[in-house]
Structure formats: structure tokens, C-alpha cells
Amino acid sequence: MEQVSHLWLYFLMVFGIIVLPGMDMAFVLASTLTGGRKAGMFAVAGIVVGGICHVAAGALGIGLLFRLVPALVDVMLVAGALYIAWIGVSLMRAVVPDDAEPDPESGTGNVAMAARRSSWDTFRQAAFTCLLNPKAYLFMLAIFPQFLRIEYGPVWIQAMALGAITALTQIAVYGGLAFAAGSTRGWLAQRPAAAVWTARLVGGMLLVGALITVVGVMRPH
């Protein structure tokens, strides 16, 4: 019974962190609005894979390494911020071509965006976004190790259980967001200018998040 309560507490903490607007959520939203529901789901899959890697790293003691060499944390945070900033810039470069007219058969618009990617590119970039997400590293350093208890059995089994909770929560939250945003995609497809400005807005959010991360790293500890 105590272990069940332990898992519920972990779920509540993970859910509270995932539902907070952040880089992962912004990437799923941007992917869905610029590429449709399919792109959004590939973004969700990439973020789930990234989350699994975070859990594995936490279970293997990477967090302890970061504690012993704090400078590595700053390096990862800056690298993550630069990568997110690059994605943000690519979204902000979205443009509307002169022939951006709705397709009468498919009901979609011919919007040319610098951010348009293949499904594999979306998946790969989503995984990197999650892997380099500062919020995820802070969670793995400060919270995740507290839920690995020797008295509850093998650590790898506990890590698998916590990883499953994390992945299912990501699928539920980000998948729901992609599904909802996919409904908006049809409206945006008929309005190329609105789609472009939406992509630019999300790109700006990513840039602001990256800037905040870099400023936090450079601020004296």
C-alpha cells in the first residue's frame, strides 16, 4: 500500500511538471499547427523517447555525476537553450508564398514554412528538445532520485515503473494537446497568414524560454 501511494505521489509531481507550459509543450504545439496532427503525434513520440532516456540516466546515476561536476549541468543547460533557440528561429522564419491559396479538394492551404519537416525530422528534433530541456534535468537532479528506494526492491524495476508513469503522462498530456491543436489546423490552413503568425508566436516563446535559461546559467550562483 505504501508503494502504491509512493507511485501516486510521483505521478502527481510528474503531471504537475508536464502540464506546465514549457519547451516540450511548445514544440508539440508548433509541430501540430505547422504540420498537422500526424506531425504532432511524431513530436509526442520523440518527447516520450527523450523522457525514457532521462529516466534511464537518472537510474544509472548520471544525476550523481552532475552533482560531482556541477559545470556539466550548466553546459547541458546552455546547449539545450541554444538548440531550442535554433528551433524557435526556424519557426519565426515562416513565410506565406504569393500562391498561398486553399486547396478546394483537401481544404488545406499552401503555406510554405521554413519549419516544415519530415516525420522523422520532427521525431528526432522532439527527442533532442526533450533531452536538452532544462526543466527535465532539474527534475532528474532534484526530484527523481528521491523516488528510488532500496527497500522497494531492485532499482531498475522501480525505474521502469517510474518511466512508464512518465511516458503515459506525456502521451496523455501532449497527445491530447496535439489532438486538440490538430482540430485548429484546419482553420489555420484556410488562413495562411494566421498559420504563419501562430508559428512565429510559438517560435518567439521558444526563444524567450532559451533566453531565460541562458540568463539563469550566467547569473552568479
**Contact by Cβ (8 Å): 46, 122:** yes
The b/e string for 8-34 (b: 16+ C-beta within 10 A; e otherwise) is eebeebbbebbeeebbbbbbbbbbbbb
Of the pLDDT bands very low, low, confident and very high (cuts 50, 70, 90), residue 99 is very low
- Residue-range domain boundaries for the chain: 2-218
Which tens digits make up the pLDDT trace of 151-210? 788 878 888 999 999 999 999 999 999 988 877 766 666 666 766 777 777 778 778 877
Look at residue 41 and tell me whether its pLDDT is greater than 80: yes
C-alpha cell at 50: 527523450
Look at residue 50 in the predicted model and tell me its pLDDT: 92
DSSP 109: B
**Among 75-84, 110-119, 124-133, which range has the highest average pLDDT?**
124-133
C-alpha cell at 48: 516520450
Neighbours of 124 (CB within 10 A): 15
72: CB partners within 8 A, 6+ apart? 65, 66
C-alpha separations of 174 from 50, 124, 145 in Å = 13, 16, 24
Look at residue 147 in the predicted model and tell me its pLDDT: 83
Which tens digits make up the pLDDT trace of 14-37? 998 888 877 788 889 888 877 788
The b/e string for 75-98 (b: 16+ C-beta within 10 A; e otherwise) is ebbbebbebbbebbbbbbebebee
Look at residue 36 in the predicted model and tell me its pLDDT: 82
> CA 43, CA 24: separation in Å to the nearest integer?
9
Of the pLDDT bands very low, low, confident and very high (cuts 50, 70, 90), residue 7 is confident
Look at residue 42 and tell me whether its pLDDT is greater than 90: yes
Q: Whole-prediction pTM value? A: 0.72
> CA 92, CA 203: separation in Å to the nearest integer?
5
> CA 8, CA 193: separation in Å to the nearest integer?
44
Query: Residue 181: left (phi > 0), alpha (psi -120 to 50), or beta?
Result: alpha
Of the pLDDT bands very low, low, confident and very high (cuts 50, 70, 90), residue 133 is confident
